[in-house]
């Protein structure tokens, strides 16, 4: 009887490991969205972190791909402090590449605020890297039409310009 219980437990653990491995191998924005709806953002972020795939998600968001950037608000609901910072950096990296997508997801919440994402949230950046970033980000956001419904556009530009003034003062 005891060996049957151990066998059942081993099968359950194996299934969980295999499902995590399959999940990591087939990661797509559509699948991630489905998983967050069914399991919740916290469980999905934890699974991504445990499987070593959260960084891959952040890299995909940082690419500026609209589908990946669009996942950021839901992902932010499941992040802790470190993952939230990583998400803000990924969105900041995506900003010059796809400003419309990034501006659309900014919501004023604790992770997705314009002053965070557009405020150059990089970890220990050099003056040179900040200047190069701002030379790409400010024109990109400026090109987004103010007539379109991007409520965070002006707040983002203000944060970028504050970062530019701070960088110039260094």
Cα(95)–Cα(104) distance, rounded to whole angstroms? 11
- In the numeric block, the tokens 């992770």 are attached to 111
CA distance 35 to 12: 20
How much of the chain, in percent, has pLDDT values that exceed 70? 85
Task: Report helix angle 2-25 to 41-50, nearest 10.
Answer: 90
**Dihedral through CA 118, CA 119, CA 123, CA 126, nearest 10?**
110
* pLDDT confidence of residue 4: 45
Say which residue, 25 or 112, is predicted with more confidence: 112
| pLDDT over 60 (residue 108) | yes
- Provide the mean pLDDT of the chain: 86
pLDDT, residue 7, reads 37
Whole-number Cα distances in Å, 101 to 17, 144, 147: 34, 10, 16
pLDDT for the residue 1: 52
Question: In which band, very low, low, confident or very high, does the pLDDT at 20 lie, cut at 50, 70 and 90?
Answer: very low
When pLDDT is averaged across residues 64-88 and rounded to a whole number, the result is 96
């Amino acid at each position: 009887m005891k060996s049957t219980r151990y066998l059942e437990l081993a099968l359950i653990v194996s299934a969980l490991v295999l499902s995590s491995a399959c999940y990591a191998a087939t990661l797509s924005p559509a699948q991630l969205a489905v998983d967050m709806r069914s399991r919740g953002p916290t469980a999905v972020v934890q699974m991504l972190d445990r499987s070593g795939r959260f960084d891959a998600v952040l890299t995909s968001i940082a690419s500026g791909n609209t589908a990946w950037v669009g996942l950021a608000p839901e992902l932010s609901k499941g992040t802790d402090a470190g993952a939230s910072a990583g998400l803000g950096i990924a969105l900041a990296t995506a900003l010059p590449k796809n400003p419309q997508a990034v501006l659309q997801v900014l919501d004023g919440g604790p992770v997705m605020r314009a002053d965070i994402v557009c405020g150059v949230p990089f970890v220990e950046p050099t003056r040179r890297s900040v200047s190069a970033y701002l030379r790409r980000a400010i024109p990109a956001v400026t090109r987004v039409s103010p007539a379109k419904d991007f409520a965070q556009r002006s707040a983002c530009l203000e944060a970028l310009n504050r970062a530019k003034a701070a960088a110039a003062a260094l």
